[in-house]
Amino acid sequence: MKLARKDLLGLEGAAREEIELILNTAGAFKEVLQRKIPKVPTLRGKTAVNLFFEASTRTRVSFELAEKRLSADSVSIAKAMSSAEKGETLLDTVRNLQAMKIDFLIVRHSAAGAPHFLASRLEAAVINAGDGAHEHPTQGLLDLFTVRERFGSFEGLRVVIVGDVLHSRVARSNVFGLRTVGARVTLCAPRTFLPKGIEALGVEVETDVDRAIEGADVVMVLRIQKERQDGCFLPTLREYAALFGINRKRADRLKPGCLIMHPGPINRGVEIEPEVADGPRSVILDQVTNGVAVRMAVIYLLSGGEVEHGVVG
């Protein structure tokens, strides 16, 4: 089976079959990563550019490793600022990249829709590595992969996402992905962090974290940006930690087998207590490992790769 799309810009609108294909392929690549030489020659001769307008060591390194493990040539460019203010426009960037005849562009940008802008003007496959408050599809996929790895399927699973949903691209990608594969999703946050009308996405909404996490199979904790503590969204981080932080007391009441996830980087002591982040329920480091396999799968499938009998090229 092949992935019939040029780009991966988001999980909204992605078909269940597409998501399952990516997760299955990622499973095969995870095996590759366990080998003594964790590298395949699949994408030899192909070129990937990682263009990060916004700093993100974790995601960038994850993509770089995925590209190297597939034997692709890759370059990473960090751009300090949003393009328009720095002289070179996104359009100039597109023209330059087009002229360099690259195969993949992995882009992180603070403006929602920036990857769509690039994708519509570039022949290369564009992968959204996070655009503003819109989507972060590979993060959503690696979260899905991690959940499926533990539970085997999504049927009947109840996933709770706690935190700044309004500004979170991770939350959006996860909502779209999880809903598509059949999980139940509850969003839990202060009202100021819940977009109006979010229920229309087919999720449940809860502002009492203790009630929300009761009986949950997965608790995904989102990062709280310190700058939200401006008295407009949150009175203080202290109050947030008290009302919504996943502390040990709350973690102890979770049902057995419940997973705790976090896309990182963690504000220890704000959205999650250190002991919980490092505790037995936490799969935060598995998420990081799985990120490489999932990104390998996405790049491989976008290059036109096929999966046959679970064997990867």
Partner 1 sequence: MAWLVKGARLLDPARGIDRTGDLLVDGGKIVRVGGEIRADGEPATIEAKGCVLAPAFVDMHVHLREPGREDAETIESGTRAAAAGGFGAIACMPNTDPPLDSQGAIRFVLERAEEAGPVQVLPIGCITAGRRGERLAEIGDLVRAGAAAISDDGSWVESPLLMRRALEYARMFDIPVVTHAEDKRLSAGGVMHEGEMSLHLGLRGIPAESEVVAIERDVRLAELAEGRLHVAHVSTAEGVAVVRRAKERGLAVTAETAPHYLALTDRCLAGYDTNRKVNPPLRTAADRDALRGAVADGVIDAIATDHAPHPLHEKEVEFDAAPFGVVGLETALAVLLTYLVRAGHLPLPRLVECLTSAPAKILGLDLPGLAEGADASLVLFDPEGSWVVDPSRFESLSRNTPFAGERLFGEIKALFLGPKRIVPRPKSGGGFLFPDEEAR
In the complex, which residues of this chain contact partner 1 (CB under 8 A)? 12, 82-85, 89-91, 109-114, 116-117, 120, 131-135, 169, 172, 195-198, 200-201
- Cβ proximity to partner 1: between 69 and 179 the closer is 179
In whole angstroms, the minimum distance from the beta carbon of 223 to partner 1 comes to 16
Burial 171-185 (b: 16+ CB within 10 A, else e): bbbbbbbbbbbebbb
Spatial separation of the C-alpha atoms in residues 158 and 81, rounded to whole Å = 39
CA 25 to chain centre: 17
In whole angstroms, the minimum distance from the beta carbon of 286 to partner 1 comes to 27
In whole angstroms, the minimum distance from the beta carbon of 279 to partner 1 comes to 32
For residue 104, the SS3 value is strand
- Cβ proximity to partner 1: between 85 and 155 the closer is 85
- Cβ proximity to partner 1: between 4 and 200 the closer is 200
- Cβ proximity to partner 1: between 37 and 232 the closer is 232
Q: Which residue has the tokens 């751009």?
A: 79
- Cβ proximity to partner 1: between 232 and 311 the closer is 232
Spatial separation of the C-alpha atoms in residues 133 and 128, rounded to whole Å = 12
Spatial separation of the C-alpha atoms in residues 30 and 106, rounded to whole Å = 21
For residue 76, the SS3 value is strand
Cβ-Cβ contacts under 8 Å for 30 (sequence gap 6 or more): 289, 290, 293
Spatial separation of the C-alpha atoms in residues 220 and 160, rounded to whole Å = 6
In whole angstroms, the minimum distance from the beta carbon of 220 to partner 1 comes to 18
- Cβ proximity to partner 1: between 21 and 114 the closer is 114
In whole angstroms, the minimum distance from the beta carbon of 10 to partner 1 comes to 9
In whole angstroms, the minimum distance from the beta carbon of 157 to partner 1 comes to 24
Q: For residue 149, what are its two tokens?
A: 């790895």
Q: State yes or no: cis peptide before 265, omega within 30 of 0.
A: yes
Q: Distance between the two ends of the chain, CA-based, in angstroms?
A: 13
Spatial separation of the C-alpha atoms in residues 174 and 140, rounded to whole Å = 5
- Cβ proximity to partner 1: between 194 and 254 the closer is 194
In whole angstroms, the minimum distance from the beta carbon of 131 to partner 1 comes to 7
C-beta separation of 176 from 169 below 8 A: no
- Phi, psi angles (nearest 5°) of residue 266: -90, 140
- Cβ proximity to partner 1: between 197 and 256 the closer is 197
Cα separation values, 81 from 51, 86, 132, 240, Å: 12, 7, 13, 30
In whole angstroms, the minimum distance from the beta carbon of 41 to partner 1 comes to 36
